[in-house]
Homo-oligomer: A and B are copies of this chain.
Amino acid sequence: MNKSLPNSAITIRVQAADFDVNAEQKNLRELTRSVGAIVSFVGLVRDINDAVSVSSMELEHYPGMTERTIKDIADKANQRWSLLGITVIHRIGALAPTDQIVLVAVSSLHRGDAFQACEYIMDFLKTNAPFWKKEKTSEGERWVDARVTDKKAEQRWHQ
């Protein structure tokens, strides 16, 4: 396993602005000409959550701890699989349905590593990174509840 991914190959950003998947993948492709696989996850704001119509949401976070938690997750993924680059971008502030929320993009020589690491990073980000969603819905404002399925997704990796 490659445990020597330099810090420069791990990019973590928390920002209000939207992100450009092409540009982020291009950065990963330019890190090394040996990249054979890039797996990307993009999470989007859905128009309906738990059967209630969502008109917009506000994403709150804990500045500093979010970046630190994501970096720790990325480092662990990098120890576990052979990776060439990791990019994680998470948006904060006001978002509307179909908006992009989060990007996790992982590059590697062979696809198995990138698939596993990308899902691992998302599973731990979901359950550990201090972000909170507050939805404006047809029934008023509400904080989104944490999902048991997300906790189960994380726990798979401990087995």
Q: Could you list which residues of chain A lie within 8 angstroms of chain B, going by C-beta atoms?
A: 20-22, 25, 29-30, 33-44, 46-48, 97-98, 109-112, 114-115, 118-119, 122, 149, 153
Contacts and interface: CB of A to CB of B under 8 A. Distances in A.
What are the 10 closest A-B residue pairs judged by CB atoms, nearest first?
A33-B47, A40-B40, A38-B42, A22-B22, A36-B46, A115-B119, A33-B97, A34-B46, A35-B44, A39-B41
Contacts of A39: 39-41, 118
A92 to B, nearest CB: 18
Copies in the complex: 2
A153 to B, nearest CB: 7
* Interface secondary structure of A, over-half rule: mixed
Contact of A44 (B22, B38, B40): B38
A46 B36 CA distance: 5
A29 B44 contact: yes
B41 A35 contact: no
Contact of A149 (B22, B34, B48, B110): B110
Contacts of A41: 37-39, 111, 114-115
Nearest to A43: B37
A36 B29 contact: no
A111 B43 contact: yes
Contacts of A43: 36-37, 111
29 contacts: A20-B22, A21-B21, A21-B25, A29-B44, A29-B98, A33-B46, A33-B47, A33-B97, A33-B98, A34-B48, A35-B46, A36-B44, A37-B42, A37-B43, A37-B44, A38-B40, A38-B42, A38-B44, A39-B40, A39-B41, A39-B118, A41-B111, A41-B114, A43-B111, A46-B109, A111-B119, A111-B122, A115-B118, A115-B119
